[in-house]
Every structure is written in C-alpha cells, then in structure tokens.
Amino acid sequence: MRDTDDGDGMRARIRAGDRRAFADLYEAHARSVYNHALRLTGDWSTAEEVMSETFLAAWSHREQLEPEGGSLAPWLLGIATHKAYNANRGLRRRRTFLAHRPPPPPTPDFAEEAAGRIDDSRRLAAVHAALSGLRRHEREVLALCVWSGLDYAQAAEALGVPVGTVRSRLSRARARLGRLSEEHQERREPRKRRGEGRSEAVFAALPLREENS
C-alpha cells in the first residue's frame, strides 16, 4: 500500500479540517481502499460505493481520529471493512429479491475489456468460493493482513481488537481455508492425490486485477 502520510503532522491537519491534506490522503489511499472493498464484497460497483462512503465517513468523523500514531491506512481500512460488511448485507437482500424475478433479456457487450472482465469475474468468483466457508472476522483479518499488507498491530487498530485476536483469527482463517480447499479438491477430483491441481486456495492467493496508477 502506497503511504505518503507523515504521521502526527498529517493527523493534525486532517483533524483540523485541512482539505488539501485530506485530498492528499485520498490520493495516497483511494486505490488501496477500493481494492480492499473489492476483496470483501466481490463486486466492482459495490467496491466503488464502499470507497466513496469510506472517505465520506472519514471526513465527517475526522475529529475522532487519534492525534498520535503512524500510518492512516489502518484507520481508513477499518472504516472500509465496516462499510463493506454493511454493503454485503444489502447486496444479499438485493440478490434474494432478484432471484424471484424473471431474468432480463440478454444484451450484447461490445466493450473492449469484456474478455478481461469475464476472466476477472471468474477469478473473483473463485476467491469468494474459497472464502465463503470462513467466518466474517476471519475473512476480514485475512484481507487486511494478507492482501492489504497490514501488520498485526495495524490490523488490530483497523478492527479495534487486541493484537492477539488478530493473530488467532488469521491462524484460524489460514487453517480453515486450507481444509476447505482440500475438501473441495477431493470432491471435484477424487482420483487426484491431495494437493494436486489448482484449487480455490490457489486462486485466493492470486491477485485480482486491481486499480493501479
């Protein structure tokens, strides 16, 4: 994650309502927040909404930011994690509603990036298939520590839990993901030896097409 904030100085400017400082913060972290939201929601448009809501909430509640500390990434990703959880609840309700509606007529897609989007959609679906068996807190700590690159202390700050809790959740997430991957692989390819083939865990370890500069 690109990090250009300068610790306490940036925090003081943000808390004071310095719009230039907040614009710099957005420039430094918008893509990382979006990518984090994408991993948690599995939906591009929802991830964009989560990113917007995250920075809106950060600005609205800037006075609650601790005056001392290091990187502001944990603060932003903590907000994004909460927003993504709320978005997922709404997304599940919409999907339940749409499941009872007749499908819309097919429309051709002539976008140049259509093939790449289809491939990314498949990989994104594979990641979420692998993560669907994890508990919410396990998914969140996995996204923060493994994909967003936060250390234990930063993830603990983002989630508002002790460092020991982050360690235990991440350990459980990795163990559970490994078991689920092996079980799924055995169900799909019973003739192969355990560990052979490309399972959902392998897809989960691959990066999605993220928003880059």
Q: Tens digits of per-residue pLDDT, 143-194?
A: 999 889 999 999 999 999 999 999 999 999 988 888 876 766 666 655 544 4
Last residue of a domain, one of 107, 124, 158: 107
Q: How many residues does the chain have?
A: 213
CATH of the domain at 211: 1.10.10.10
Return d(Cα 203, Cα 123) in angstroms, integer.
7
Are 73 and 127 contained in the same domain? no
Question: Within 13 Å and on the Cβ side, how many CA atoms surround 66?
Answer: 13
Nearby residues of 166 by Cβ (< 8 Å), 6 or more positions away: 141, 145, 152, 155, 156, 159
Task: Mark whether 80 and 132 lie in a shared domain.
Answer: no
Structural domain total, the chain: 2
**DSSP codes of every residue in 93-125:** HHHHHHHTSPPPPP-----TTHHHHHHHHHHHH
pLDDT digits (tens, 9 = 90+) for 26-68: 999 999 999 999 989 888 889 999 999 999 999 999 999 998 8
Please name the residue that has the structure tokens 């609840």.
89
Last residue of a domain, one of 79, 107, 135: 107
Under DSSP, the state recorded for 68 is S
Percent of the chain's residues with pLDDT above 70: 62
Q: 206: exposed, middle or buried (C-beta count within 10 Å: 0-12, 13-18, 19+)?
A: exposed
Gap between the Cα atoms of 68 and 7, Å rounded: 7
Least confident of 7-21, 39-53, 100-114: 100-114
Confidence check: pLDDT of 209 > 70: no
Regarding whether 144 and 58 lie in a shared domain, the answer is no
From 107, 136, 168, give the residue that closes a domain: 107
End-to-end Cα separation, the chain, in angstroms: 12
The pTM (predicted TM-score) of the whole model is: 0.70
Tokens of 78: 């903590």
Residue 2's pLDDT is 45
Whether 97 and 160 share a structural domain: no
The reply to whether 10 and 33 lie within a common domain is yes
The one-letter code for the residue type at 109 is D
- Identify the pLDDT of residue 199: 42
Q: Are residues 139 and 199 in the same domain?
A: yes
Which among 30, 21, 1 is positioned nearest to 65, based on CA atoms? 21
122 shares a domain with 81: no
Residue 158 in contact with residue 144, Cβ under 8 Å?
A: yes
DSSP designation for 6? -
Which structural domain, as residue segments, surrounds residue 185?
114-213
Whole-angstrom distance, CA of residue 177 vs CA of residue 134: 7
Locus of tokens 């925090």:
11
**Helical ranges in 132-207 per DSSP H:** 136-142, 152-159, 163-188, 200-205
| Range picked from 109-113, 178-182, 208-212 for highest mean pLDDT | 178-182
How far apart CA 76 and CA 150 sit, in angstroms, is: 12
Q: What CATH number did the domain enclosing 98 receive?
A: 1.10.1740.10
Kindly state whether residues 6 and 27 are assigned to the same domain. Answer: yes
